[in-house]
Amino acid sequence: MRVIYLLEERIPSELRLLIVSKIEAAGFEYKLMFYSEPEAEQLKKLCWAQAVLCAPGRKLSKRVIEGASHLRLYQLWSSGYDKFDCDFARACGVPVANNGGSNGASVAEHAIMLMLAVHRQLPAMHQRTTTGNWAGNNHGMDLKMLSGKTLGIIGLGNIGKKVAKRALAFDMDVQFTDLEVQDLQASQLSNIRQVSEDELLRTSDILSLHLHLTGATNSLLNRENFKKLKDSVVLINVSRAGLVDQQALLEALESGRLWGAGLDVYPSEPTKAGDPVLNHPRVVATPHTAGSTLEILVKAIDRSIDNLKQVATGQEPNFIVN
């Protein structure tokens, strides 16, 4: 099968080589294509191809998608798919698939790491230690534990479940809200409880977001919902920045309604210096790396390649999101 490997220039050479090695090992013919290429060049390459491996998945113009309606599959290596025009691809008859949640364990670990880092103020503690500046160290008076805290998970999907299991190991009290989850026994999570969104916002010490960004979830945490929180809540967002109204987030941090936040996703990526949210002393931020560990990259690429193999042999692809 003829495959386009679609990428951004910022993808490091080691990762490109890993992906290319997997494509070659599968026996596919391939060409590289960059999101920055002119539409005419993109269309020329896509007309040659039968499928596309989007690593990462970003917007292609409607003209390009429509001109390549013969394609059998757009395969995204990520779980998130909001940055690709899935709806228009569907209108053109081309399925879009993601990695089937293969990065779930990595994202869940990262969410717990951010909870710990915010509550223990890890960046500030690290700086004190490396500079030898222990003056002003409050000897733990401004640090907190996870044990005994109520964690509120919004979205108990693949990642939300994994976060819940790990949180239970820290002796946290776990609750969640999710309209689609009915049977906790089937999830082997009978020791957590389901509550309404309103109750979760009012009673949680920590909020952790695990939702896809859609029209319905855009700015889910807005000024109105921030006002429902009790004081000194910690927010964790490893999903999508658009789930949170950024101005309302800043106001909640400055007012103390939020004690702190652990963030891995941002309205503009890469981030820009001087962002008042990122410069807040109780914000711990990472550069959208929650799902990016070596083990998970290999797993996600392998799953993507397996899906392309299925399409090559005339089978239906797995993990279709459109």
Domain residue spans of the chain: 2-102+293-312, 104-285
Give the pLDDT of residue 183: 61
Residue linked to tokens 């005994």:
148
Cα distance from N-terminal residue to C-terminal residue, the chain: 22
Give the pLDDT of residue 181: 74
**Which residues of the chain fall below pLDDT 70?**
182-188
CB atoms near residue 260 (< 10 Å): 23
Crossing angle, helix 13-25 and helix 294-312, to 10 degrees? 30
55-88: pLDDT as tens digits: 888 999 999 999 999 999 999 998 888 889 999 9
Domain spanning 2-102+293-312: CATH superfamily: NAD(P)-binding Rossmann-like Domain (3.40.50.720)
User: Is 60 exposed, middle or buried, given 0-12, 13-18 or 19+ CB atoms closer than 10 A?
Assistant: buried
CATH entry, 104-285, from 3.10.290.10, 3.40.50.720, 3.30.56.10, 1.20.58.100: 3.40.50.720
Angle at 179 between CA 175 and CA 181, to 5 degrees: 70
- The overall average pLDDT reported for the chain is 94
Here the tokens at position 230 are: 């009790």
Contact (CB, 8 A) for 18 and 12: no
Asked if domains 2-102+293-312 and 104-285 share a fold, the reply is yes
Give the pLDDT of residue 79: 84
Q: What is the pTM of this model?
A: 0.87
Catalytic site residues? Answer: 240, 269, 288
Give the pLDDT of residue 90: 97
158-210: pLDDT as tens digits: 999 999 999 999 999 999 999 777 666 555 677 899 999 999 999 999 999 99
Give the pLDDT of residue 186: 52
Give the pLDDT of residue 184: 63
